Chain A
Amino acid sequence: MASVPDDAATGAAIVADAIRKRYGDRQAVDGVSLQVNRGEFFGLLGPNGAGKTTLVEIMEGLRQADSGTVTVLGQSPWPRNVALLPRLGVQTQSSAFFVRQTAREHLRTVAALYGAGREAADRTLESVGLTGQRDVMVENLSGGQRQRLAIASALVHGPELIFLDEPTAALDPQARRDLWKVLRDLKSEGRTIVYTTHHLDEAEALCDRVAILVDGSVVALDSPHHLVSAAAAPTRLMIPAERMSEADAAAIPGVDRVTVQGGSLVLETAVSGKVLQAVDALIGLDGVQTRTATLEDVYLELTGGAGTEGTQSTRSAQGSDAMNSTHGTNSTNSTHGTEDMERQG
């Protein structure tokens, strides 16, 4: 892929100002303003139905906003802007393939639609790890392979700005990590990436900044690190249950709460260093685990209702499911973190 020209290294890739879009009686996007900088890896998070897709489609120029303005790479994406389109890459559904073609034939056709050459198709197949499947008919690819081919369709012409829609959703853990590398390489080449995901750990690992969308509005917009620090969610120490009694644990200064979960004593604290020292003095630190708050904790608080400890302690396994099902149940535990976040957003 050709590298991004120098003049693209500065300034904003996307400027959205007070974007609104209504479908019937539903306000899908309700006054969103945000800026994505060039070379930035920008995550768009939020429950299903929060307006992510509509917002992205407005940025892509597939839909017209009811009001507000959006500027993409210095141009207006609406109406269909043929000068702008080759500079954008858009991942479509994993079904958007020309029928009865091999992976390579499909990608060569897409490359030709963008005016790119055949070598670009082969190079892109290589970069998403599909060289071995290049002669397989698109209908016979596995779910993960289809997804990678759909992503390749967005990258084949070397776009400056790439929109990806849940790119790792159907991938197994290894393929997901492989794709992370592809995405990081794209970023290191100076490309701008806007992507939606339900994998919060992934957003935390990849994104420079994330915007969390709830009911068509941005409720938080910052780097994952800042969002997590500002949320001031408790750190959890997990101690094998047989090594310490609940009463002893609760007596340690700085411990706010003690519960027993899955054979572990879970100590919640805002001052983990101090508590760790105390635990060390009492029983040593063998087998003691620490869990700090993650972007997922912040997300669940902001998107409502799921900020209970049960969800949090099992977050790595259950997070994305919990997130899908909890939208709409309005949060009752509006904590300190939420207000901080809204001010920042």
Chain B
Amino acid sequence: MSAYAALTGAGFRAQVRDKATLFFTFAFPLLFLVVFGLIFRGQEVEETGRPYISYIAPGVMSWGVANAAVFGVAFTLMQWRRDDLLRLIRMTPTRLPAVLASRYVISLAVGAVQAVVFVAVAMLPLFGLELNARWPLALPVLVLGITAFLAIGVVIGSYAETPEAVAAIANCLMVPMAFLSGSFLPLDMMPSWLQAVSRVLPLRYLNDAVSAALSGRGGIDDIAVGCGGLVVFTVIFGAIALRTFRWSNKT
């Protein structure tokens, strides 16, 4: 078995064997979808005349996928460093790309399952999401989104030394970002200055592009802008991640 396959297997088992991880990855975002979906059931956003669910479903999905990518890699990296597993890996001939690739594939797989679950629930008659014909374009968008948020997760996981620190930093980042990027409440309802400010947030680009693909709110150009924004954030945070990465908590 290759190092890559073994690491992916171990990561997959660790993921499915932890009920807390499963809950926060799949059930928790779903809770937001259900709560907001029920509150605004059958309603439309005044400013555009579009149903709420066409905002909430892609929004919650983007946030859930981004959240899982950030938390997953940040916790793993902090834990591997704290428990000396990074040192163990460092002392084997396994090359770093194999380690990174296994974590990447696990995050992509988690994101794929999340996306299917969230879309399936949103399409229930109770919530009534109608998929746009462009929906397959959501797949490359999600891949780019997961990549960008993985890079952010690496930065957090390199900086934080305890699980509490990971949770605190990641939540401080992801919860306000979810509201400011229109994941839970449609940005079209927000004042225009806030819409402008949200341009500096990576989740805004993921939201816009996923919305354009899934529910047709926006065109191909919105998807292209979203993808471009995510690539830029990936490069920025990827560069920071390379600089902050540490093999050990000791100097």
Contacts and interface: CB of A to CB of B under 8 A. Distances in A.
B84 A92 contact: yes
Interface string A95-131: 1111111000110111111110110000000000000
A105 B95 CA distance: 21
A100 B18 contact: yes
Contacts of A100: 13-14, 17-18
A111 B94 CA distance: 11
Contacts of A62: 87, 90-91, 247
Nearest to B2: A112
Interface string A48-82: 00000000000011100000000000000000101
Contacts of A110: 88, 92
A248 to B, nearest CB: 59
Contacts of B10: 98, 101, 105-106, 109
B139 to A, nearest CB: 29
A96 B93 contact: no
Contact of B83 (A60, A96, A113): A96
A108 B89 CA distance: 13
B84 A96 contact: yes
A98 B89 CA distance: 11
Interface stretch (A83-91, A182-190, A214-222, A251-259): A83-91
Interface string A191-221: 0000000000000000000000000000000
A109 B91 contact: no
Contacts of B18: 100
Contacts of A86: 92-93
A96 B92 contact: no
Interface string B74-93: 00000100111101111111
Contacts of B85: 92, 96-98
A114 B90 contact: no
Interface in A227-274: none
A95 B85 CA distance: 8
Contacts of B17: 100
Given A95-B83, A109-B10, A115 B3 contact: yes
Contacts of B95: 82
A59 to B, nearest CB: 12
B92 A93 contact: no
Interface string B120-153: 0000000000000000000000000000000000
A72 B93 CA distance: 16
A153 interface: yes
Interface in B1-28: 1-3, 5-7, 9-10, 13-14, 17-18
Interface residues of A, number: 33
Contacts of A23: 251
A92 B83 CA distance: 9
B92 A113 contact: yes
A153 B87 CA distance: 12
A82 B1 CA distance: 19
A85 B93 contact: yes
A82 B251 CA distance: 23
A257 B239 CA distance: 71
B212 to A, nearest CB: 38
Contacts of A93: 83-84
A101 B87 CA distance: 18
B55 to A, nearest CB: 37
A81 B118 CA distance: 46
Interface in B235-251: 247, 251
A113 B7 contact: yes
A289 B93 CA distance: 54
Interface string B28-56: 00000000000000000000000000000
B87 A85 contact: no
Given A113-B92, A113-B94, A96 B87 contact: yes
Nearest to A87: B93
A91 to B, nearest CB: 10
Nearest to B11: A98
Residue of B9, B91, B94 most packed against chain A (CB within 10 A):
B91
A113 B87 contact: no
B13 A82 contact: no
A171 B94 CA distance: 31
Interface in B146-197: none
A80 B93 CA distance: 9
Contacts of A101: 10, 13-14
A175 to B, nearest CB: 22
Residue of A93, A112, A153 most packed against chain B (CB within 10 A):
A112
A113 B6 contact: yes
Given A90-B91, A92-B91, A101-B10, 18 more contacts: A62-B87, A85-B91, A85-B92, A92-B85, A92-B87, A92-B88, A96-B84, A96-B85, A96-B87, A97-B83, A98-B85, A99-B79, A100-B13, A110-B92, A112-B6, A112-B7, A114-B93, A117-B1
19 contacts: A80-B90, A82-B93, A92-B85, A92-B88, A96-B87, A96-B88, A97-B83, A98-B10, A98-B85, A100-B18, A105-B13, A109-B7, A112-B1, A112-B3, A113-B6, A113-B92, A113-B94, A118-B1, A153-B88
Interface of A: 23, 60-62, 80, 82-83, 85-86, 88, 90, 92-93, 95-101, 105-106, 108-115, 117-118, 153
